[in-house]
Amino acid sequence: MVWARTRCGNRPTVATLARQETYQFRQRQVNSDQMLKTSADPQLQGPSPEVEAAYRDVRAQLDPTAAEAWPALRRRLAGLMQEGVQAKDFQKRLAFIEAGVRLTLEGQEDESLFVLVQMLSDRSYGYSATHALTAAAICLMIGPQAQIGEPELSALLRAALTMNIGMATLHDQLALQTHTASESQKAQIRRHPDAGVDVLRQLGVDDPLWLNLVAEHHEAPDGSGYPLGKRELSPVQQLLRMSDVFIARISPRISRRGLWPNVAVGNLYLEAQAQSSPLGAIFAKHLGMYPPGTYVRLKSEETAVVVRRGERVNTPVAMAITDPDGMALSTPRKRDTQHPGYSVKSPISPEDVKIRLDKARLLKRI
């Protein structure tokens, strides 16, 4: 397989519906938070020189298939996050990961979502870095749909990858502990946006947009966020928040089950509508109600895993992995849920699916 150089085409229904809302959205973006204004410096248009240079290394060192690339990028990012302020060559290593995210996603959006969403519920992968990579991938997929271009997109991507660097160890720990956060953990959670900025500054980061996104990634449009309780969020901040919240809500923890993806997407859509923001609609239309990697029960009573987004938000393409009696199929069967006999009956929590998938093999059958 070779790296695809053209970005995956947007499915017509998504693009058409999203376009209807982006003009008004762009107008609002122009008037958004002064701290997040686009620089006019043409040198900054497009990925940074570090990332451009890293493309060559990525092509030489990273297997281009989604099934191999995302776990490899996760290992690299987890190492970097754990090293924190001690990390050597931080910006170079992060540029490799950013370049890897960009190249792996090109032409492989569905495959990438499939692998990343599957990784979120697999405890053999650490949670924090998987969460960060998934957030970066979603921001990179949806940002252009929301008319977010460079250099904001680069800063958004780096912020998604590093937003929890102020509590990387605790982030992994919280996903695995059986009890809710202790008082001292809650205090650390509340401090982590500012702590993350401190770590990034010590590592040489001075991009105000990147730092601002990390500092305010837990602010919420209803004022319930922290540390400032700020209500005015720019579109870039809104997209980072939506990606972060969506991933956190659908990811199962030992202490609680994940929220069904259609409920998580629906809640974010309604939240955005309440703020007169079109970003919820763009988010829902681009990800769908059942993103790749999530499980569904079909009208046929088969259990299936979603492998591609479909023509409509609620008609993904899936692979049946059990028969109607719940018996595992030795060879998964492709099901287009647009077909009335295979329509989605309900989501299924990953904890309720006991079949271990061979992701690489399954992706080859799509």
Binding residues among 315-354 for Fe ion as defined by CB under 5 A:
none
Residue 186 Cβ, how far from Fe ion at the closest point, in Å?
13
Residue 271 Cβ, how far from Fe ion at the closest point, in Å?
18
Asked if residues 287 and 315 have their Cβ atoms less than 8 Å apart, the reply is: no
Q: Which stretch binds Fe ion (CB under 5 A): 156-164, 288-296, 304-312, 321-329?
A: 156-164
Name the residue nearer to Fe ion (CB basis): 164 or 243: 164
Name the residue nearer to Fe ion (CB basis): 217 or 359: 217
Name the residue nearer to Fe ion (CB basis): 218 or 335: 218
Residue 362 Cβ, how far from Fe ion at the closest point, in Å?
31
CB atoms < 10 A from the CB of 254, how many? 11
By the 10 Å C-beta count (0-12 exposed, 13-18 middle, 19+ buried), 240 is classed as buried
* Four-residue CA torsion sign, 232, 238, 240, 243: positive
Name the residue nearer to Fe ion (CB basis): 164 or 262: 164
Site string for Fe ion, 115-154 (x = CB under 5 A): ----------------------------------------
Give the C-alpha separation, 289 to 57, whole Å.
Answer: 36
Residue 56 Cβ, how far from Fe ion at the closest point, in Å?
32
Q: Report the amino acid identity of residue 119.
A: M
CB atoms < 10 A from the CB of 85, how many? 12
Residue 102 Cβ, how far from Fe ion at the closest point, in Å?
23
* DSSP H or E segment with residue 274: helix 261-274
Name the residue nearer to Fe ion (CB basis): 164 or 315: 164
Asked if residues 97 and 75 have their Cβ atoms less than 8 Å apart, the reply is: no
Q: Which stretch binds Fe ion (CB under 5 A): 162-170, 175-183, 304-312, 325-333?
A: 162-170
* Alpha carbon distance, N-terminus to C-terminus of the chain: 15
Asked if residues 13 and 311 have their Cβ atoms less than 8 Å apart, the reply is: yes
Asked if residues 154 and 139 have their Cβ atoms less than 8 Å apart, the reply is: no
Give the C-alpha separation, 197 to 292, whole Å.
Answer: 33
Q: Which stretch binds Fe ion (CB under 5 A): 161-169, 271-279, 331-339, 350-358?
A: 161-169
Q: How do beta strands 344-348 and 295-298 pair?
A: antiparallel
Name the residue nearer to Fe ion (CB basis): 181 or 329: 181
**Binding of residue 162 to Fe ion (CB under 5 A):** no
Name the residue nearer to Fe ion (CB basis): 144 or 227: 227
Q: Out of 29, 130, 164, 337, point to the residue binding Fe ion (CB under 5 A).
A: 164
Contacts with Fe ion, residue ranges (CB under 5 A): 164
